[in-house]
């Protein structure tokens, strides 16, 4: 409903902030991660998630899209509400939570206050595939600026390779090889992995 707010932060607290947009002040619940990102800023774009239940309405804010996506994924797990998801994002950085889920690290996920062993296992089980897809798409969008990788991906797709496999191979080559002279070399090395 409300995708983001772009305005002046008039009040900051480790658990919430008030952001003024067009002379309206919005109370936005935040994590410690977001607080650390906006602590020294006056004007800021805050990504938001509007949570509606029969008893309450709440607006949750995030410094970046990664944190917002992870929050939405966490609350999709049965038994994990917005408070627990916010606690998770306050306890660990979003990238740490993603790594723990992908690695199946129950101990790290269980270190979040309010998450027991069964909830930790449920989070890992239900979110592993979603987090893997999110991480892959973020890696690919981060590399979209590289024209070699874009051209190589187009070539591999034209050859009939599935997008996911082609992206994975290109990313693997790009992460391991520091000196790629051109698109042809990138395609050849990616083909060896496919």
pLDDT by residue (tens digit) across 117-153? Answer: 999 999 999 999 888 887 666 655 554 445 677 788 8
Instruction: State residue 31's pLDDT score.
Output: 94
Instruction: State residue 6's pLDDT score.
Output: 94
pLDDT tier at 168, thresholds 50, 70, 90: confident
Q: Are 84 and 58 in contact (CB under 8 A)?
A: no
Task: Provide the mean pLDDT of the chain.
Answer: 87
> Which superfamily does CATH assign the domain made up of 65-141 to?
5' to 3' exonuclease, C-terminal subdomain (1.10.150.20)
Q: Which of 80, 45, 113 is nearest to 28 (CA)?
A: 45
Q: Which of 192, 148, 141, 138 is nearest to 169 (CA)?
A: 192
Instruction: State residue 146's pLDDT score.
Output: 59
In the 8-state DSSP scheme, what is residue 39?
A: T
Cα 101 from Cα 125, distance rounded (Å): 8
Q: 54-111: per-residue pLDDT in tens? A: 999 999 999 999 899 999 999 999 999 999 999 999 999 998 999 999 999 999 999 9
pLDDT tier at 159, thresholds 50, 70, 90: confident
Q: CATH number for the 4-62 domain, one of 1.10.645.10, 3.20.20.150, 2.40.50.140, 3.40.50.1010?
A: 2.40.50.140
Domain 144-193 carries which CATH code? 1.10.8
């Amino acid at each position: 409903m409300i995708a983001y707010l772009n305005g002046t932060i008039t009040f900051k607290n480790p658990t919430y902030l008030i952001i003024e947009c067009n002379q309206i002040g919005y109370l936005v619940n935040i994590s410690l991660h977001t607080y650390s990102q906006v602590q020294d800023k006056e004007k800021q774009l805050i990504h938001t998630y509007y949570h509606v239940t029969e008893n309450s309405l709440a607006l949750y804010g995030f410094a970046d899209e990664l944190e917002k996506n992870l929050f939405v994924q966490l609350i999709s797990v049965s038994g994990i509400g917005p408070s627990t998801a916010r606690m998770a994002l306050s306890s660990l950085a979003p990238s740490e939570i993603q790594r723990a889920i992908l690695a199946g690290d129950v101990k790290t996920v269980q270190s979040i206050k309010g998450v027991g062993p069964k909830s930790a296992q449920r989070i890992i089980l239900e979110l592993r595939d979603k987090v893997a897809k999110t991480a892959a798409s973020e890696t690919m969008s981060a590399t979209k600026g590289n024209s070699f990788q874009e051209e190589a991906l187009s070539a591999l797709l034209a050859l009939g390779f599935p997008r996911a496999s082609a992206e994975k191979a290109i990313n693997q080559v790009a992460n391991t090889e520091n000196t790629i002279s051109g698109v042809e070399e990138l395609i050849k090395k990616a083909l060896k992995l496919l």
